[in-house]
Amino acid sequence: LKYLVFRQSCGLLDVLIMNRRAILGISPQLLKKELDDQKAVVVDVRDDDFDGGIPSCIHKPSEGLGVSDLEELAQAHAGRAVSVVFYCMLSQSRGPNAARYFLTHLQKNYPDFECSVKVLNGGWTAWADWEAEQDEAAEAAQGLGQEKAA
């Protein structure tokens, strides 16, 4: 058994276990917190559908993602206690595959790695929807504050 996938129907947690190391799913909310705390590195693997992404993301198109890209990420982050988070448009194929390739590379070449490997649940679509909800909530709160002041 090379890997085993656990999936909760609520979509809040997806786990891919490979050789006793797990690839976890992460929500946009938790990713934002990790980014704010400088505990996450985000890798966008969209191809032609890339049109901007999560602030500070590293764009590594899946079509050209190779060993040199994986090694570059591993050298920079394997020894750090950070999450390396992969995503694509929906994180159904390219993002999880890239995360699996990266974890395999770490296991072969950096057996004592410290970083965790994650996939953004729902991908770019979930992030953009969540970000829009946050903006709307902030605008509504600002509007209520201005009404109370008047």
Known catalytic membership, residue 88: yes
| Amino acid in the structure at residue 9 | S
Retrieve residue 14's tokens: 């997806």
Residue with tokens 């032609």: 48
> How far apart, in whole angstroms, are the C-alpha atoms of residue 94 and residue 88?
6
Q: Which of 10, 57, 88, 115 is catalytic?
A: 88
Residue with tokens 């050298």: 75
Give strand pairing partners of 16. 5, 23
User: Contact 78/113 with Cβ under 8 angstroms?
Assistant: yes
Retrieve residue 32's tokens: 């934002």
Catalytic residues, which ones?
A: 88
